[in-house]
Amino acid sequence: MRVRAGWTGLIATIVIGACLFLFNAPAWTRVLLFLPAFIAAIGFLQTGMHFCVAFASKGLFNMDHARGVTESVDKAEFRKADQKKAVRIWVYAFLIALLVAYIAFII
């Protein structure tokens, strides 16, 4: 699902960006590329790190993908480490999306 979100966000970024450039939209409208770029970045970062920010925020992990069984992360120190990693992924995705929007704006 995270891979699908990454690809969907990337394709949306490319298609929307191409349309904005093709129709000579004002530069400020290209900032709208932030959202699909953020979705792409968050999807690909989670995939690459084998990590789910939604599970981390709930203190869960999934060991059995076939049955959808979830279990809680019992130790507070592990839960805190997972939450820090989730925040790091959010920040990286935000910075990537911000860079994409900025580049689209100045072009």
Q: What is the pLDDT of residues 51-84, one digit of tens each?
A: 888 777 777 666 555 555 555 555 667 778 888 9
Q: Is the pTM of this model over 0.95?
A: no
Region 32-61 average pLDDT:
89
Q: Are 62 and 56 in contact (CB under 8 A)?
A: no
CA atoms within 13 A on the CB side of 64: 6
Q: Are 1 and 9 in contact (CB under 8 A)?
A: no
Q: Are 18 and 7 in contact (CB under 8 A)?
A: no
Q: How many helices (H) and strands (E) does the chain have?
A: 4, 2
Residue 28: C-alpha distances to residues 18, 20, 40, 77, 103 (Å): 15, 10, 21, 44, 11
Average pLDDT for the chain: 87
